[in-house]
Chains A and B, each alone.
Chain A
């Protein structure tokens, strides 16, 4: 853990147009800084703006105003394709619903981001194999998502997020779709991998157990961080 700020957010604003009434402000004047190697939990009730903040941080959506600096790069200044490239390299996202490619095997799913980034095939294979090992899915690597359990799917998703060694790992309710036991196992795996690799992690959740495993906990209330 260092004191290098990896992500700094300032004066972030986001509202969604509402039919008939004034736009609904989801994120208002939010700012925070995250240092390299930190693990952060963003909590809040349903509708507090967690997912919106997550989308903004992941570069999946654009704010109305404010800046998001990731590794000193302003996400808001990039066009769609630059952003896509940057995201592929620097941001790993884990979704509540896993979002695996249904027609690709576990291994192919994990390889996918590397292939998009045009890594050398040799490198792709060594990295993928290592990550598969790390998430403990080597034996099930040729299975399609439909043939995997929920926990296994999420492990594939984690592996897929980690394989590019992103600067920032974002997880949206990573255990939300899993039963308690499995959820815990997946969370264990996630934190093990993050801490061992010194990665920065932001978890968006309303699961307090999961939140407490993070070094810092930010609560989102009515669009503002407390």
Chain B
């Protein structure tokens, strides 16, 4: 379906690749590894160009590590909460992601929503992903201290608890080295700027590589 809107060149390319793959081996029919980044404005890259958002920045980093056949889908929606995670994952099931990068929760926290509800939403999403055979990277989140220590602590705990409960790759804090530093954030003080996204990407890459290795998609060095 999305082929129609791709450029002709890519269309032909994809077609050739498909024909080529079919002649060699049916088991290699699915050559690409697909990663869906299910997140909020931090993932969508609010305030920066979509090419500057960390999921896009991962492509060259992965390339450099020899992962050339990784398709990155940015499924970030600004303002979204964990409540939307499950239904959105269902939509992305049609592209059969290999890896789910789950980075939701910040908006739940900013809006002071119940942390138990948040845990439930995330858990349901993780369960669905696991049952669909996806490898999961869960990105932890923290919220600014002005929300009060009681709430911020409860919030922070949700992520490691889930990480213990399920077989997932866990990144403790998505905005590590970025949050709270004005030079890496936009004026609103909450969304990373271009530089911030680069740092996030650099911090995310090891977890993605881990996940890729888990699904047995070793680097294919072209030369």
Classify A-B as touching or not with yes or no (CB < 8 A): no
